[in-house]
A and B are shown apart, each in its own frame.
Chain A
Amino acid sequence: MSEPAMPSQKVEEVSYQILALSGNEAQALAMKQINPHMVAAYPITPQTEIVMTFAQYVADGLVETEFVSVESEHSAMSACIGGAASGARTMTATSAQGLAYMWELLPIASAMRLPIVMAVVARALSANLNIHCDHSDVMGARDSGWIILFCEDPQEAYDTLIQAVVIAERAKLPVMVVTDGFVISHAVHPVRVLPDEAVRHFVGAPQPAYSLLNVDQPITVGPVDLPDYFMEHRRQLTDAILEALPIVQQVGQEFADNFHTKPYGLIETFQTEDADVILVGMGSFCGTAQAAVEKVRREGQKAGLVKVRAFRPFPQSEIFKALRFAKVIGVMDRADSLSGTGGPLFTDIRAAFYDRLVTLKPQAVTSLVPCPSPKIVNAIYGLGGRDVTVPQIYQFIMELFDVAAGKTVSQTWRYLGVRE
């Protein structure tokens, strides 16, 4: 096994540039600076501007990337799998039905432990026909063995895509970098951009353990795996996912240290230490929610916010630590898992609390999990691009304070912002 690609030493004199970029443009630029060996993508809708912009870089000779234009997302991921198995640094991007059409290949990429990096612009799944922001597409790929990182804004999208290359190659797992469709993908923000050399230095040269193209060492990848071995390989995969937690954390830290950015970890907390009510969410929602939390705080009530950056692997213990002293936790899902019991993030957060009760020793349970433990409720919001605003979130937080004060909850989940 090769050593993980080591990022650069501290770059002292980096000349940053502030550019006004949309999420898509920021990620296309990051891809250009990464200069991957290969990008395979389906060039038509629901493809994103990321690939369109990147294709222009290829046409203009600004990157050395082999751009493979394929006839479907299914083929795009197939080509990426072949490329990555050959040792090439491989990237792609997609969205919505495109991600759904890739689905069959996603678990192949992860089980073959291929460090493919994919930018996903999160959008609703049809029907009805809708092209707007929603996390349903990503949630469909939730259990595919990919690392899934959510970004709040174009800056995070840029920084995270660069980190994702190193994370993928160190963890030997594919990574999805998720930005919210339109809200972030098409919204222009100031983005602090690194010089090309700094990015290339940070991502280093890939050092794949094997290459299909190495004729001196012929190998077989993805061979037949019957009942006597298949489960052992699954066990390896789940271990790899678990080992990816410290890798995501560590690469985020290295990035922040190198480039003096804000800290990047598994989750981000905002005023959670003494909070009675804490919201938990992912993606662009968190920025808007922060403004609502600030308003509540100004009015003298203790609200807080947890932003989940790493959704897979799920940082259960970090989230638990950040939330455990709250009275009420409001979990925000931009997708409904249609189980009749709420959204996917809600399921994971509830499980984090229950798992502590099972695994902690009785003394630790009483000292670490306050009794009664927090009430955890769920709001499903923003489906199909339904906007979510500061007043709405503020109102929801107020309702959670009522619950904290003893108001009964008849159903743990609800739709927020639906006409009723």
Chain B
Amino acid sequence: MIIEIRWHARAGQGAKTGANILAQAAIRQGKYAQSFPEFGPERRGAPVQAFNRISDEPFTIHSGVTEPDIVIVLDPKLVGNVPITDGLKAGGWIFLNAPIGAREAQERFGWQAFRVVTCDASGLSKRTLKRDIPNVPILGALAARAGVVALESLQTESISRLAKGRGTDDPVVKANLEALALGYEETDFADVHTQSLPSSGTKPPLPAWYELPVAGVIDRGGTAQVYQTGGWRLKRPELDLNVCVHCLMCWLVCPDSAILLSGARIIGIDYRHCKGCGLCETQCPPRARAIKMVEEEALQPAEKTP
């Protein structure tokens, strides 16, 4: 049997690396495994997917995973914005990086038909690695609950990746192993409560070839408005108009024209398009410091179109 896994994350959260470590660890254990990312717009914060297949027998499939046994969600704010449960069978697993209980996640997101594991992988990662790299602890959680690979294989794989030129006593190696172990230990599990799958919501079909403009010409300007890059944000800029000196530096550098002006004065930030790059903060003069990048609140859904 082939176990198929789909990762949902934002570019920069380590889904690709996580999938890679998982496959390497499985191969270390003598299994047949595969990992590959889905290549989309490779911009930090954009929703991405990665895939794994793991099996005791050789297999030949090279396509993306559309009917996963396990879904791993590295950013809980993606829930509701990307099709997390698409193709997931009743009784399938969802591993969610979130500081909430599994039962709560089930109820909050309507996941009663699935086995849900929650793990505060970001929290654990910040505690051990001093950075938000949720892929390492979530792999620990996966080994603990779904048993796809053994924790030992993940440990050996992590050591061999990181220990090159460092030695196993290196603090980075130790921190990684600790993050992995904590993920293994600190999980919460909720079993299936119903067999009825949540409705996946019908997506409008994309246009047929004869309905598209010839050669894909975009026949007008200003179409960047339609593309709401606000959904990519991991951190949000907060603007304090009390200290802003209206030098317009932030407006000048913002790549998404998300700094709102009235005349020559800043009036706010367009969070539908601000993708959280933080350039405005770096350019805000030290004597003003009117913009500060802050973490998006956990589990707050991404901005919706008003």
Which A residues fall within an 8 A CB radius of B?
1, 111-113, 172, 209-210, 217-226, 228-229, 231-233, 235-237, 239
Query: Are A229 and B214 in contact, with the CB atoms below 8 A?
Result: no
| Nearest Cβ on chain A to B256's Cβ, whole angstroms | 17
| Nearest Cβ on chain B to A364's Cβ, whole angstroms | 29
The residues of B that contact A231 with a CB separation of less than 8 Å are 209
28 examples of A-B residue contacts, CB within 8 angstroms: A112-B215, A172-B214, A209-B217, A210-B217, A210-B219, A218-B220, A218-B221, A219-B220, A219-B221, A220-B218, A220-B223, A221-B215, A223-B216, A223-B218, A226-B40, A226-B41, A228-B206, A229-B212, A229-B216, A231-B209, A232-B212, A233-B212, A233-B215, A235-B209, A236-B210, A236-B212, A236-B214, A236-B215
* Residue B208, interface by CB 8 Å: yes
B219: which of A219, A228, A233, A237 is its contact (CB, 8 Å)? A219
Query: Are B212 and A220 in contact, with the CB atoms below 8 A?
Result: no
Report how far A222 CA is from B218 CA in the complex, Å: 9
Query: Are B220 and A217 in contact, with the CB atoms below 8 A?
Result: yes
The residues of A that contact B207 with a CB separation of less than 8 Å are 232
The residues of B that contact A226 with a CB separation of less than 8 Å are 40-41
Known: A221-B218, A239-B210. 16 other contacts (CB 8 A): A1-B214, A111-B215, A112-B215, A113-B215, A219-B218, A219-B221, A221-B217, A222-B216, A223-B218, A226-B40, A228-B206, A229-B216, A232-B207, A233-B212, A235-B209, A236-B212
| Nearest Cβ on chain A to B17's Cβ, whole angstroms | 22
What 6 pairs across the A-B complex have the smallest Cβ distances? A218-B221, A232-B209, A220-B218, A235-B209, A113-B215, A233-B216
The residues of A that contact B223 with a CB separation of less than 8 Å are 220
| Nearest Cβ on chain A to B276's Cβ, whole angstroms | 22
Report how far A201 CA is from B209 CA in the complex, Å: 35
| Nearest Cβ on chain B to A199's Cβ, whole angstroms | 28
List B186-221 residues whose CB lies under 8 Å from chain A. 206-210, 212, 214-221
Query: Given contacts A228-B206, A232-B208, A233-B209, are A219 and B217 in contact (CB under 8 A)?
Result: yes
Interface size on B, residues (CB 8 A): 17
* Residue on A nearest B222 in the bound complex, by CB: A218
Interface secondary structure of B, over-half rule: loop
The residues of A that contact B210 with a CB separation of less than 8 Å are 236, 239
* Residue on B nearest A215 in the bound complex, by CB: B221
* Residue on A nearest B221 in the bound complex, by CB: A218
Report how far A239 CA is from B209 CA in the complex, Å: 10
The residues of A that contact B215 with a CB separation of less than 8 Å are 111-113, 221-222, 233, 236-237
Query: Are A209 and B220 in contact, with the CB atoms below 8 A?
Result: no
Number of CB contacts from chain A to chain B under 8 A: 56
List B45-81 residues whose CB lies under 8 Å from chain A. none
| Nearest Cβ on chain B to A106's Cβ, whole angstroms | 15
Query: Are B214 and A113 in contact, with the CB atoms below 8 A?
Result: yes
* Residue on B nearest A230 in the bound complex, by CB: B216
Query: Are A217 and B219 in contact, with the CB atoms below 8 A?
Result: yes
Among B206, B209, B210, the one with the most A-chain Cβ atoms within 10 Å of its Cβ is: B209
Report how far A113 CA is from B219 CA in the complex, Å: 14
Report how far A177 CA is from B223 CA in the complex, Å: 39
The residues of B that contact A223 with a CB separation of less than 8 Å are 216, 218
The residues of A that contact B41 with a CB separation of less than 8 Å are 224, 226
The residues of A that contact B208 with a CB separation of less than 8 Å are 232
The residues of B that contact A239 with a CB separation of less than 8 Å are 209-210
Among A111, A221, A231, the one with the most B-chain Cβ atoms within 10 Å of its Cβ is: A221
List B217-236 residues whose CB lies under 8 Å from chain A. 217-221, 223
Report how far A226 CA is from B218 CA in the complex, Å: 15
* Residue on A nearest B212 in the bound complex, by CB: A232
* Residue on B nearest A238 in the bound complex, by CB: B209
Query: Are B218 and A236 in contact, with the CB atoms below 8 A?
Result: no
Report how far A226 CA is from B206 CA in the complex, Å: 13
| Nearest Cβ on chain B to A226's Cβ, whole angstroms | 7
Report how far A229 CA is from B219 CA in the complex, Å: 16
* Residue on B nearest A226 in the bound complex, by CB: B40
The residues of B that contact A219 with a CB separation of less than 8 Å are 217-221
* Residue on B nearest A229 in the bound complex, by CB: B216
Report how far A1 CA is from B215 CA in the complex, Å: 12
Report how far A132 CA is from B214 CA in the complex, Å: 39
**How does the 8 Å CB contact mask read for B162-186 relative to A, with 1 for contact and 0 for none?**
0000000000000000000000000
* Residue on B nearest A113 in the bound complex, by CB: B215
Report how far A15 CA is from B206 CA in the complex, Å: 56
Report how far A150 CA is from B41 CA in the complex, Å: 43
The residues of B that contact A232 with a CB separation of less than 8 Å are 207-209, 212
Report how far A210 CA is from B217 CA in the complex, Å: 9
The residues of A that contact B220 with a CB separation of less than 8 Å are 217-219
| Nearest Cβ on chain A to B85's Cβ, whole angstroms | 20
Report how far A365 CA is from B216 CA in the complex, Å: 40
Report how far A1 CA is from B248 CA in the complex, Å: 42
The residues of B that contact A233 with a CB separation of less than 8 Å are 209, 212, 215-216
| Nearest Cβ on chain B to A231's Cβ, whole angstroms | 8
Report how far A225 CA is from B206 CA in the complex, Å: 14
| Nearest Cβ on chain B to A238's Cβ, whole angstroms | 9
Report how far A232 CA is from B221 CA in the complex, Å: 22
Report how far A226 CA is from B217 CA in the complex, Å: 14
* Residue on B nearest A225 in the bound complex, by CB: B216
* Residue on B nearest A221 in the bound complex, by CB: B217
| Nearest Cβ on chain B to A326's Cβ, whole angstroms | 38
The residues of B that contact A228 with a CB separation of less than 8 Å are 206
| Nearest Cβ on chain B to A107's Cβ, whole angstroms | 12
**How does the 8 Å CB contact mask read for B11-53 relative to A, with 1 for contact and 0 for none?**
0000000000000000000000000000011000000000000
B214: which of A209, A218, A222 is its contact (CB, 8 Å)? A209
The residues of B that contact A1 with a CB separation of less than 8 Å are 214
